[in-house]
Structure 1
Amino acid sequence: ILDVGCGGGATIKDLLKLSEESIIYGLDYAQKSIEMSSLNNKDELNKRVFLKEGNVAQLPYEDNMFDLVTAVETVYFWPDIQKGLEEIYRVLKKGGCINIICEGSDPEEAIDWPKIDGFFKIYRPSELQELLLEAHFKDVAVHHGQGQYISVVGVK
């Protein structure tokens, strides 16, 4: 499993419990996030958890390496989302899945979000669905949760 934009490592911690046999890789462009994720997953670090600083638009992994790629609360910050999705497609095995999870999915209703330095964009579910299709994912489905929460899933 690859967790792109792993931040402080909360998703990795959850994945360790949900998939007890898995090896989980985490990637984030911020060194501070890698440090926090390392601390939060220290018991499994370099055993079942492997972290790297890097960019989703240039993933430092081999083709066809992962069964699942998660992107939780991170696509907002990708300056080139299409390149990121193409890279994720490249590193997924045939039949592997991507799962994008966002708590914000309506840019018109995002007025209470803090001002972010750098690139920041909230995508509508239909936009993410179209972007995944353009990146050659199939069986793309959007699942709605409470409020603006969405999970967008696609298969290689």
Structure 2
Amino acid sequence: MASSMLYGGQHLTLTPKGLGFNGSDLHGKNLLKMNLVGRNCNFRSKTLVVPKCSVSVPRPASQPRFIQHKKEAFWFYRFLSIVYDHVINPGHWTEDMRDDALEPADLNSRDSIVVDVGGGTGFTTLGIVKHVDAKNVTILDQSPHQLAKAKEKEPLKECKIIEGDAEDLPFKTDYADRYVSAGSIEYWPDPQRGIKEAYRVLKMGGKACLIGPVYPTFWLSRFFADMWMLFPKEEEYMEWFEKAGFKDVEIKRIGPKWYRGVRRHGLIMGCSVTGVKPTSGDSPLQLGPKVEDIETPVNPFVFLLRFLLGASAGVYYVLVPVYMWIKDQIVPKGQPI
């Protein structure tokens, strides 16, 4: 079932809010049970057996990891933008994964107004403009180096490309029909604020689609994840969406084919979460001041230490897909890896 969910792109609604995890095994021998509702299935409610989401509590999102800071992320992508499309995407964010993850966004009208928040090099946007006219799509990112790569792509020439902050979007309330964000939430110091902004900029009936990493269960992967950037648990995504005011919140698992459904190491692009804005106006959620402002001075020594430690931890997640690909080549098909 784990593999079918990953490869088949099954839509899931997790209920109730407290998932009641039980059972433990990092290698999938003893799998825990979770109540799930499949949207495109022949049953209304059924208990399915799926891999465990986590075996320990991750660092709270309020305690940012070393690269889960705006300035650190800015400089991290200053260098990563050079090889992003050629090194990161092949291991963590392939075209088939992208198309699978965007399917629940319901990009079914060429005239839809779409914002791609944290759009980076425009890789996800290339999937969006298959279904929506490029002139109706805005790519926003805080990294000019990433956006420079997006500007070079011919299918995106008519897109609006702007620099901006995912936690303080430069769009009016009730502006867009669709909000898409892929591979961005892991760098947000305050993910709840970013999702609240997604709610605000959408029109009534508009849909948000947020694609991001999943928290690992293997102890070494957890260690490096908590050093590098935010890897939320699936129930955290659901809670953030619901608190922001979204309805019909669903989660869809995605991942590279060569992982064969294995999720214990965490997946940098591991799930696609969607929610519908039920009414016009701002989110009912009230938040205080920003957790972090890019204008606030940063101690250069602290910045350098966080940057070096976080970037070093990120190397681990460049090696993990290589390791999984090798295992996929060696271990006979049909056997767990």
Distance of aligned partners of 1:5 and 1:44 in 2 relative to their CA distance in 1, 3 Å threshold? closer
Cα deviation code 1:3-40 (max 9, x no counterpart): 11001101111111122476110110111111111112
**Structure 2 residue ranges without an equivalent (≥5):** 1-113, 256-260, 264-269, 278-337
1:9 to 122, 138, 146: 122
Q: TM-score, normalised by structure 1?
A: 0.86
Q: Is 2:129–2:155's contact at 8 Å kept on the other side of the alignment?
A: no
Aligned equivalents of 2:242 and 2:155: distance in 1?
Answer: 38
Alignment map for 1:66-85 (pairs within 5 Å): 66-85=176-195
Cα deviation code 1:40-60 (max 9, x no counterpart): 2x4542x3x001111011101
Identity over aligned residues, as a percent?
A: 28
Q: Is 1:16–1:22's contact at 8 Å kept on the other side of the alignment?
A: no
Aligned equivalents of 2:146 and 2:188: distance in 1?
Answer: 16
Q: Number of residue pairs matched? A: 149
Alignment map for 1:52-67 (pairs within 5 Å): 52-67=162-177
Q: Is 2:135–2:160's contact at 8 Å kept on the other side of the alignment?
A: no
- 2:233 counterpart residue number: 124
Residue identity in the other structure for 2:183? E
Residue identity in the other structure for 1:56? A
Q: Is 2:115–2:176's contact at 8 Å kept on the other side of the alignment?
A: yes
- 1:134 counterpart residue number: 243
- 2:3 counterpart residue number: none
Aligned equivalents of 2:168 and 2:179: distance in 1?
Answer: 15
Query: What SS does the corresponding residue of 1:64 show, helix, strand or coil?
Result: coil
Distance of aligned partners of 1:35 and 1:86 in 2 relative to their CA distance in 1, 3 Å threshold? same
Q: Is 2:126–2:155's contact at 8 Å kept on the other side of the alignment?
A: no
Alignment map for 1:1-156 (pairs within 5 Å): 1-20=114-133, 23-40=136-153, 42-45=154-157, 47=158, 49-102=159-212, 104-109=213-218, 110=221, 116=228, 120-146=229-255, 147=261, 148=263, 149-156=270-277
Residue identity in the other structure for 2:232? Y
- 2:10 counterpart residue number: none
| Range with bigger deviation, 146-155 or 89-98 | 146-155
Aligned equivalents of 1:66 and 1:90: distance in 2?
Answer: 9
Aligned equivalents of 1:26 and 1:3: distance in 2?
Answer: 5
Deviation at 1:141? 0.7
Query: What SS does the corresponding residue of 1:35 show, helix, strand or coil?
Result: helix
Q: Is 1:107–1:123's contact at 8 Å kept on the other side of the alignment?
A: no
Greater C-alpha radius of gyration: 2
Deviation at 1:100? 1.1
Question: Aligned Cα RMSD in Å?
Answer: 2.1
Q: TM-score, normalised by structure 2?
A: 0.41
Residue identity in the other structure for 2:252? H
Deviation at 1:98? 0.6
Aligned equivalents of 2:156 and 2:185: distance in 1?
Answer: 26
Distance of aligned partners of 1:108 and 1:38 in 2 relative to their CA distance in 1, 3 Å threshold? same
- 2:306 counterpart residue number: none
Q: Which has the higher helix share?
A: 2
Q: Which has the higher strand share?
A: 1
